[in-house]
């Protein structure tokens, strides 16, 4: 799946995450989290998995995490991908 | 047991993830009114993930999908059905045709998922004048319908009257829905009380709903859940009476008697059914027999 | 004889402040306090060095202290509570000497016993007369009780009263009396009323907070302690206040008249007093305008000193007569040890205050905290810092269940019988981690930045720097 436009999903509220996705060459993931030290790696791999599952190979993704549970982060990433993908 | 049903806005992670801790017998993940058109996709995915990853234990999961006059309802069902919600709450149900259309689609999705037919129940939300008038037909349209649900806010708009705390304006709709649901053999749930800070108001409103015959009541505020639960729970007196009824029945059987009386009143089949229901609830609530 | 001195500048010299001495402050003006900053700025500008600051609490408004620390003016700090602004810098290792944390009871105890002598105490007084009789109940910067300032006033070598409402001698209804006071300094303003007391403290609207509050009230109702003569303390957090509100409803319904409500007093406790839930309020600090109004006008609402409130070496302290206290936590471990000193990343952002004192004294000490905050579980294997030992904590209330310290066998049975959702604290931890995941342990620093001194003077724990 190709990301053809910038898109965002989620909010900056506590327990949520805000995701921005943009067309790019290659994958670039930028993570900012209030639980960076405790869960940074888990969040990163969850995001990578979501991108892989959706066949996104080229994108720049920015995550601002406000302590969201993993199921919430996954939902927000998926929403951003669907909003940024090609035909729809 | 479904005394209380709590609406949770479908795009609010903080409330969704704590939904099972708020004391309600069932939560209603709301994809309709609580979600703006621009966020329908986000809420659908968030609710699906919440249902997929979070353990709701004994708390039932109901999803209010978008109505059939929107482009969203089929997408909602596609996303939600694999998570096996207990019920789908269908807004703006006005006719049996509405139910049949949704039922057919759910059946199709159930089949494609390899789920048994009618795994997921349907609860039409009656919130139009037409819906009230068609309520029996709606309740008996298909086997999938498990309950009717009264939505007074939209209904009063359709009736062109003001929604008040006294709720005289929905008297007819309430009793009509109860009769229709009971005639069709399904449950029936009352509309939320919307003033979050009126503790006496919610108590009075829930007490009235219970007295009229509603099975339970919905709520838009966690603050109302406790009151609703207590109003719709059997009282100790009711539990004790139910035990007496069952004992009298057992005794009658033993003595080979047909008709039996308790405290000078004949016990007939509906009283027994009622007693059984009361005892089932008492058991679920951990209530024991008093003195 | 006149005790009135024109300026802080003059009084710093008059009081004989020298390098290496200890000055003290109290925190009733909370985040609106001007006094500590004014005094420290004067001390700095007079070139004094190596000053030790003994404050009952330090708030974000006191962040200018950082500069004095960097310049060597301040080299020692002891406090019962340090807010995040200063706490963060301390955790980063800004001070050579570790900060000393005490409790609200331990601090006056050590002052009275002479273990932490004070050279000059500065009393921020919303109203004072020319001889130093003073009170917090009146004046434009009224804060209500002056409870934490009593030990300082009675035992410091020199005592300076700083006021923005100087009245003719003798003022009526003073709290701290002239026989302890050396100097009185009138200033334009001792604080910003907006930061001193809040208007009305609102109970939480957060559904999770309300569920916890309801559980907490039910625990109290079924503890066997809720009967005539009942005494109670709660913090000013949203869920704690909601619990007080629910408790009030239960007390009214059952017609229970308690003996006293205590602590930092909020309007909610005042409501309970006025509704007949208590015979009196014992007030070491006011949190809102309603509490200030009440302590000024209602003789049942009594100001008490920190020694009477919580000192372990007083002949008796009110905490020892307390039935129930509701407290908070940033972390609690499976041995019920509670951390209120550091945040989830190890930075100092609080302190015991009266936490350990009331937990030690009360028959039922209850922690209210959500299962997790921003994905971080509240229950851990081991807290980063033991602020209050688990042996003093009886119950943890979360939205996902109530954990009772296993030492309370009877209470566990009572609460179970009442149908409350009782859960083993280890199970609660596992249940929470199933939702959040298991957080990675933080790297610990190798330098002690703070010592946590237990209420009995023991070194209870240390806090390491955040690398």
Nearest CB to C437; choose among A15, A34, A39: A39
CB C415 within 8 Å of CB C219: yes
A55: left (phi over 0), alpha (psi -120 to 50) or beta: left
For an interface test with B, give the residue of A75, A78, A83 to mutate (most B CBs within 10 A).
A75
CB B228 within 8 Å of CB B4: yes
CB B227 within 8 Å of CB B206: yes
Other beta carbons less than 10 A from residue C46's beta carbon: 12
User: Angle at Cα C317 formed by Cα C316 and Cα C320, nearest 5°?
Assistant: 100
Residue of C nearest to A41 (CA): C440
C345 vs A: CB within 8 A = yes
Q: How many CB pairs under 8 A join A and C?
A: 34
Q: Tally the residues of chain B.
A: 291
For residue B180, what are the contacts with CB-CB under 8 A and spacing of at least 6? Answer: B135, B136, B138, B139, B148, B188
Task: With CB atoms and an 8 Å threshold, state whether A38 touches C435.
Answer: no
What residue ranges define each of the domains in chain C, with the CATH number in brackets?
Answer: 8-56+104-196 (3.40.1080.10), 207-441 (3.40.1080.10)
β pairing state of A7-10 and A17-22:
antiparallel
Q: CATH number for A7-84: choose from 3.60.70.12, 3.30.230.10, 3.40.50.300, 3.40.50.280.
A: 3.30.230.10
pTM of the complete model = 0.91
Q: Which residues in chain C touch residue B14, judged by CB atoms under 8 angstroms apart?
A: 208
Q: How far apart are CA C220 and CA C230, in angstroms?
A: 10
Phi, psi (rounded to 5 degrees) for C262: -140, 165
Q: How far apart are CA B59 and CA B52, in angstroms?
A: 14
User: Mind listing the pLDDT tens digit of every residue in chain C (467 residues)?
Assistant: 789 999 999 999 999 999 999 999 999 999 999 999 999 999 999 999 999 999 999 999 999 999 999 999 999 999 999 999 999 999 999 999 999 999 999 999 999 999 999 999 999 999 999 999 999 999 999 999 999 999 999 999 999 999 999 999 999 999 999 999 999 999 999 999 888 877 666 778 888 999 999 999 999 999 999 999 999 999 878 888 899 999 999 999 999 999 999 988 999 999 999 999 999 999 999 999 999 999 999 999 999 999 999 999 999 999 999 999 999 999 999 999 999 999 999 999 999 999 999 999 999 999 999 999 999 999 999 999 999 999 999 999 999 999 999 999 999 999 999 989 999 999 999 999 999 999 999 888 999 999 999 999 999 999 999 99
Burial class (CB in 10 A: 0-12, 13-18, 19+), C9: middle
Domain residue extents for chain A: 7-84
Q: Which residues in chain A touch residue C440, judged by CB atoms under 8 angstroms apart?
A: 37-39, 41
Q: How far apart are CA B115 and CA B107, in angstroms?
A: 9
What residue ranges define each of the domains in chain B, with the CATH number in brackets?
Answer: 4-232 (3.20.20.60), 236-284 (no CATH)
A6 vs B: CB within 8 A = no
Task: With CB atoms and an 8 Å threshold, state whether A76 touches B48.
Answer: no
B123: left (phi over 0), alpha (psi -120 to 50) or beta: beta
- The sign one gets for the Cα dihedral B199, B204, B206, B207 is positive
Angle between helices C289-297 and C267-274 (to 10 degrees): 40
Using CA atoms, how far residue C312 sits from C105, C306, C307, C326, in Å, is 6, 11, 8, 20
Q: How many CA atoms lie within 13 A of B73 on its CB side?
A: 20
C435 vs A: CB within 8 A = yes
Q: How far apart are CA C166 and CA C155, in angstroms?
A: 24
Task: With CB atoms and an 8 Å threshold, state whether A71 touches B53.
Answer: yes
């Amino acid at each position: 799946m190709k990301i053809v436009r910038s898109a965002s999903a989620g909010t900056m509220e506590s327990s949520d995450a805000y995701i921005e996705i943009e067309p790019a060459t290659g994958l670039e993931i930028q993570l900012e989290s209030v639980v960076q030290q405790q869960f940074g790696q888990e969040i990163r791999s969850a995001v990578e998995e979501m991108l892989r599952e959706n066949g996104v190979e080229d994108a720049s993704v920015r995550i601002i995490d406000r302590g969201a549970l993993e199921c919430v982060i996954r939902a927000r990433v998926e929403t951003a991908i669907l909003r940024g993908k090609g035909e729809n | 047991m479904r005394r209380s049903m709590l609406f949770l806005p479908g795009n609010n992670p903080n409330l969704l993830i704590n939904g099972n801790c708020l004391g309600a017998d069932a939560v209603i993940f709301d994809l309709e009114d609580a979600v703006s058109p621009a966020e329908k996709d986000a809420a659908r995915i968030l609710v699906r993930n919440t249902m997929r990853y979070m353990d709701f234990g004994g708390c039932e999961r109901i999803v209010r999908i978008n109505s059939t006059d929107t482009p969203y309802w089929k997408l909602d069902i596609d996303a939600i059905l694999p998570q096996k919600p207990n019920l789908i709450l269908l807004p703006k149900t006005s006719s049996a045709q509405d139910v049949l259309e949704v039922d057919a689609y759910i059946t199709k999705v159930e089949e494609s998922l390899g789920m048994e037919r009618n795994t997921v129940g349907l609860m039409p939300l009656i919130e139009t004048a037409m819906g009230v008038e068609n309520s029996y037909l709606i309740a008996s349209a298909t086997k999938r319908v498990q309950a009717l649900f009264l939505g007074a806010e939209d209904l009063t708009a359709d009736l062109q009257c003001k929604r008040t705390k006294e709720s005289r304006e929905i008297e007819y709709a309430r009793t009509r829905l109860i009769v229709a649901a009971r005639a069709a053999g399904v449950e029936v749930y009352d509309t939320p009380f919307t003033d979050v800070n009126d503790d006496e108001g919610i108590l009075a409103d829930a007490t009235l709903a219970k007295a009229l015959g509603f099975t339970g009541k919905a709520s838009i505020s966690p603050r109302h859940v406790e009151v609703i639960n207590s109003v719709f729970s059997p009282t100790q007196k009711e539990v004790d009476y139910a035990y007496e009824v069952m004992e009298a029945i057992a005794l009658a059987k033993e003595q080979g008697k047909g008709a039996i009386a308790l405290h000078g009143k004949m016990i007939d089949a509906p009283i027994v059914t009622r007693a059984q229901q009361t005892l089932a609830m008492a058991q679920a609530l951990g209530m024991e027999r008093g003195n | 004889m006149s005790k009135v001195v024109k300026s802080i500048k003059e009084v710093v010299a008059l009081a004989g402040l020298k390098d290496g001495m200890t000055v003290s402050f109290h925190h009733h003006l909370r985040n609106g306090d001007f006094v500590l900053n004014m005094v420290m700025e004067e001390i700095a500008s007079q070139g004094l060095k190596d000053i030790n600051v003994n404050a009952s609490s330090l708030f974000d408004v006191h962040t200018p202290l950082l500069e004095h620390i960097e310049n060597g003016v301040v080299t020692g700090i002891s406090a019962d509570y340090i807010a995040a602004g200063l706490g963060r810098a301390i955790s980063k290792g800004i001070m050579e000497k570790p900060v000393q944390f005490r409790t609200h009871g331990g601090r006056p105890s050590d002052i009275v016993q002479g273990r932490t002598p004070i050279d000059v105490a500065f009393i921020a007084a919303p109203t004072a007369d020319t001889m130093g009789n003073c009170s917090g109940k009146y004046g434009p910067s009224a804060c209500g009780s002056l409870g934490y300032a009593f030990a300082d006033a009675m035992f410091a070598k020199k005592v300076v009263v700083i006021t923005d409402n100087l009245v003719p001698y003798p003022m009526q209804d003073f709290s701290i009396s002239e026989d302890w006071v050396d100097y009185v300094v009138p200033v334009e303003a001792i604080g910003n009323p907006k930061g001193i007391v809040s208007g009305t403290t609102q109970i939480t609207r957060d559904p999770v907070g309300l569920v916890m509050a309801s559980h907490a009230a039910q625990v109290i109702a079924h503890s066997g302690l809720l009967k005539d003569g009942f005494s109670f303390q709660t913090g000013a957090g949203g869920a704690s206040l909601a619990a007080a509100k629910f408790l009030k409803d239960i007390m009214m319904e059952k017609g229970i008249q308690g003996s006293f409500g205590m602590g930092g007093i909020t309007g909610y406790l005042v409501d309970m007093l006025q509704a007949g839930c208590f015979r009196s309020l014992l007030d070491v600090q006011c949190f809102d305008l309603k509490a200030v109004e009440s302590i000024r006008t209602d003789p049942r609402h009594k100001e008490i000193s920190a020694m009477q409130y919580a000192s372990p070496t007083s002949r008796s302290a009110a905490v020892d007569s307390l039935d129930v206290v509701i407290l908070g936590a940033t972390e609690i471990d499976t041995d019920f040890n509670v951390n209120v000193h550091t945040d989830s990343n190890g930075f100092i952002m609080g302190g015991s205050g009266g936490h350990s004192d009331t937990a030690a004294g009360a028959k039922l000490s209850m922690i209210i905290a959500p299962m997790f905050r921003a994905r971080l579980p509240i229950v851990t294997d081991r807290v980063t810092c033991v602020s209050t030992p688990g042996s003093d904590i009886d119950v943890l209330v979360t939205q996902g269940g109530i954990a009772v310290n296993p030492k309370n066998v009877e209470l566990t049975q009572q609460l179970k019988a009442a149908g409350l959702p009782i859960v083993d604290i280890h199970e609660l931890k596992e249940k929470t981690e199933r939702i959040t995941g298991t957080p990675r342990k933080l790297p610990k620093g190798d330098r002690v930045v703070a010592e946590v001194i237990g209420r009995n003077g023991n070194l209870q724990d240390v806090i390491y720097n955040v690398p």
